[in-house]
Structure 1
Amino acid sequence: MLRFITRRTFGAVVTLVIIAAVTFFLFFAVPADPARLACGKVCPPELLEQARHNLGLDQPLFAQFVSWLSGIFVGRDYEGLGHCSAPCLGYSFVNKAPVLGTILDRLPLTISLTIGAAVIFFIFGVATGIIAALRQGKALDKIASVSSLIGASVQIYFVGTLALYFLVYQNHILRQPKYVPFTENPLSWAAGLLLPWIVLALIFTANYTRMTRSTMVEQLGEDYVRTARAKGMSARSVVMRFALRGTLTPIVTILGIDLGALIGGAIITETTFGLQGVGQLSIRAVTSSDLPMLMATVLVAAGAIVVFNIIVDIMYAFIDPRVRLS
């Protein structure tokens, strides 16, 4: 297990370095004037020259990349602006502050939105898919299939707008979405994010229902499941001990990808409900041409996906007995 984790961690570091190199090339080598993008649309000439110097644009491209990459691990001094301590993902000339601090301020909201919605859509999606598979061809299976198809077809901004109108503004059933830190008031934290959780979970539940149903139907036809039934095991034991464990392997794989993507920023959901998370931060970075902030959000999103994929690989050994980590 330790050898596997070490190998996967090393692979993750290599992957992140490659992503960092591609990101750097796209944002620094392709633009005609990276300093202008980093400094923003409204940038005084003196600040523009300072940005060029701090970004090392007077050096060869490879030296610029090494300097930028090393700054992530050891920090970096921005002359006239201050020191950016490690891990330094860059300095925002628009906000006049290290980008990591801004991301860390927004990250708790995005994590809260992701984890809350994930708990809902994973539990309901898997449970509904299992029930539909066990009732294959019956009315409940058809209802679940049609519902999941409709849920997968609608968009978050459409459902979210309707939910805001009917549940918040018209009937006052739920609170206006608002983020309150969990450490301040857990109840207000949950109440303020309940509606975004429900809307986000509605879309993802449909996908997990369809995937769980199809995988469960396939698992119920496997030889080892039929053998367990032939030995006289109860239907519940067969489903929970054998079919479900085989079903969860691809489900957990997709869950890891979805969690990583949502941590990187649930842009549409945050925009629909006016939540200021990492997704909104990335949009603001694009509209204000805040190059360092945009690069940092890309790296954070990539890092989240890589980390969750490692966690998923480790979970395989505990979910499916056929999988062994070596």
Structure 2
Amino acid sequence: MTRFFLSRLAFGALVLFLLSVFVFVLFYVSPSDPARIIAGDKATEELMAQIRVNLGLDKSMIEQFGIFIGNLLQGNLGYSYRTNMPVGDLIVNRIPITMSLVFGAVIIWLAIGIPIGISSAKRPGSLRDRLGQGFAIVGISFPTFVLGMIALYTLYFLPTKVGITLFPPSGYVPFTQDPLQWAWHLVLPWITLALVIAAVYARLTRGQMLEVLGQDYIRTARAKGLTERRVIYVHAFRSAMPPLVTQLGIDIGMLLGGVIVIEQVFGLNGIGSLAVTSVAMQDRPVIIAIVLLGGLFVVVSNLVVDMLYALLDSRVRTARR
């Protein structure tokens, strides 16, 4: 197990290195001039030349990449071209918002999607199954921004018109400041994000459970007189979990890199909102940092998934010794 973990860790480090090379080269060959972005359109050539020297842009591509990697290893992500603030500080200030949004939504979509999927698989073709499949189809078909606008209109705008405030329209309150206000401000974003992804998990869970419930060992467990609840949740669901864990790891890793649509709809200044602003302003250091951060989250999530696989399936542990 230790050897496998170290090999996956080394592979993750290689992925991050290759991602950093790709991002650096992509922005190196970009036609935009950082010196022009920083100095403005009316800056003199002498001022722009000095800015290039200060940023190290007068050096060769190899030298710049060496400086770039060295700074990354020291945790130095550079400075924003627009605000002149350390990029690390910008990320640290925004990431609690995105993490609060993602992990709250994860709890909700698992609590909704998995039970619906299991319930549908227990009686395929029944009314319960058709309702579950209908929920999955509608949820997958709905764009998140449309669902977000509907939530704002029905749960904020309409009640506010009659003098009732159910939920705030936007904003974020740190958990350490007021846990109740923190949750109250995030309820609508949580529900919006969770309902869309819960539909995916409902469909995935149903498919996996139907496949597992048709196996011989499930029929044997029923023949032994085990309760249906034990057969479903102890034997069948455990065997159906690995694909769900894989999907969960991918989703969490991707969403932590920035929930762009939800953050824009509900006015949350998280990583996604920072990414949109940085792209619009051509703030190269911030964009590079966000891309690398997203890659880091995906690598870490997949590493955790691999460890969970080994815990859930003894065959995986045996194969990796």
TM-score greater than 0.5 by the shorter chain: yes
Where 2:206 maps in the other structure, the secondary structure is: helix
Offset, 1:34: 4.2
Equivalent in 64, 67, 78 of residue 90 of structure 1: 78
CA gap of 1:99–1:38, structure 2 versus 1, over 3 A, is: farther
Residue of structure 1 in register with 2:99 after alignment: 111
Residue of structure 2 in register with 1:320 after alignment: 313
Q: How many residues align?
A: 313
Residue of structure 1 in register with 2:17 after alignment: 17
Residue of structure 2 in register with 1:195 after alignment: 188
- Mapped to 1, the partners of 2:244 and 2:48 lie a distance apart of 49
- Mapped to 2, the partners of 1:186 and 1:138 lie a distance apart of 42
CA gap of 1:206–1:55, structure 2 versus 1, over 3 A, is: same
Where 1:322 maps in the other structure, the secondary structure is: helix
Give per-residue Cα distances to partners, 1:5-63, cap 9 Å, x unaligned: 222111111110000000101111x2134424763866844663344224422222122
Offset, 1:117: 0.4
- Mapped to 1, the partners of 2:172 and 2:292 lie a distance apart of 24
Give per-residue Cα distances to partners, 1:209-235, cap 9 Å, x unaligned: 001001110011122222222322221
CA gap of 1:163–1:57, structure 2 versus 1, over 3 A, is: same
- Mapped to 2, the partners of 1:317 and 1:151 lie a distance apart of 32
- Asked if 1 retains the 8 angstrom alpha-carbon contact of 2:278 and 2:287, the reply is yes
Offset, 1:321: 3.3
Runs of 5+ unmatched residues, structure 2: 160-164
CA gap of 1:5–1:34, structure 2 versus 1, over 3 A, is: farther
Tell me the amino acid that sits aligned with residue 92 of structure 2.
Answer: L
Tell me the amino acid that sits aligned with residue 4 of structure 1.
Answer: F
- Asked if 1 retains the 8 angstrom alpha-carbon contact of 2:253 and 2:298, the reply is yes
- Asked if 2 retains the 8 angstrom alpha-carbon contact of 1:114 and 1:263, the reply is yes
Tell me the amino acid that sits aligned with residue 70 of structure 1.
Answer: G
TM-score by length of 1: 0.91
- Asked if 2 retains the 8 angstrom alpha-carbon contact of 1:125 and 1:209, the reply is yes
- Mapped to 1, the partners of 2:97 and 2:70 lie a distance apart of 29
- Asked if 1 retains the 8 angstrom alpha-carbon contact of 2:39 and 2:47, the reply is no
| C-alpha RMSD over aligned residues | 1.7
- Mapped to 2, the partners of 1:26 and 1:313 lie a distance apart of 31
Runs of 5+ unmatched residues, structure 1: 75-86
In the alignment, is residue 26 of structure 1 matched against residue 26 of structure 2? yes
CA gap of 1:177–1:288, structure 2 versus 1, over 3 A, is: same
- Mapped to 1, the partners of 2:17 and 2:301 lie a distance apart of 17
CA gap of 1:36–1:297, structure 2 versus 1, over 3 A, is: same
Offset, 1:126: 0.7
Residue of structure 2 in register with 1:163 after alignment: 151
Offset, 1:73: 1.5
- Mapped to 2, the partners of 1:39 and 1:17 lie a distance apart of 28
CA gap of 1:310–1:185, structure 2 versus 1, over 3 A, is: same
Residue of structure 2 in register with 1:82 after alignment: none
Give per-residue Cα distances to partners, 1:78-132, cap 9 Å, x unaligned: xxxxxxxxx0122112110111110110000000000000110012111110011
Deviates more, 1:245-254 or 1:164-173: 164-173
Deviates more, 1:160-169 or 1:47-56: 47-56
CA gap of 1:262–1:56, structure 2 versus 1, over 3 A, is: same
Residue of structure 1 in register with 2:162 after alignment: none
Residue of structure 2 in register with 1:39 after alignment: 38
CA gap of 1:108–1:42, structure 2 versus 1, over 3 A, is: farther
- Mapped to 1, the partners of 2:22 and 2:140 lie a distance apart of 33
- Mapped to 2, the partners of 1:8 and 1:315 lie a distance apart of 13
Offset, 1:323: 2.3
Give per-residue Cα distances to partners, 1:115-174, cap 9 Å, x unaligned: 000110012111110011002110000011011101110111111111111101211322
CA gap of 1:36–1:58, structure 2 versus 1, over 3 A, is: closer
Residue of structure 1 in register with 2:252 after alignment: 259
CA gap of 1:50–1:8, structure 2 versus 1, over 3 A, is: farther
Residue of structure 2 in register with 1:302 after alignment: 295
Equivalent in 203, 215, 219 of residue 212 of structure 2: 219
CA gap of 1:268–1:292, structure 2 versus 1, over 3 A, is: same
In the alignment, is residue 250 of structure 1 matched against residue 249 of structure 2? no
Equivalent in 254, 263, 267 of residue 270 of structure 1: 263
TM-score by length of 2: 0.92
- Asked if 2 retains the 8 angstrom alpha-carbon contact of 1:38 and 1:292, the reply is no
- Mapped to 2, the partners of 1:47 and 1:157 lie a distance apart of 44
Give per-residue Cα distances to partners, 1:166-206, cap 9 Å, x unaligned: 10121132233321111111111111100000011010011
Residue of structure 2 in register with 1:134 after alignment: 122
In the alignment, is residue 290 of structure 1 matched against residue 289 of structure 2? no
Tell me the amino acid that sits aligned with residue 269 of structure 1.
Answer: I
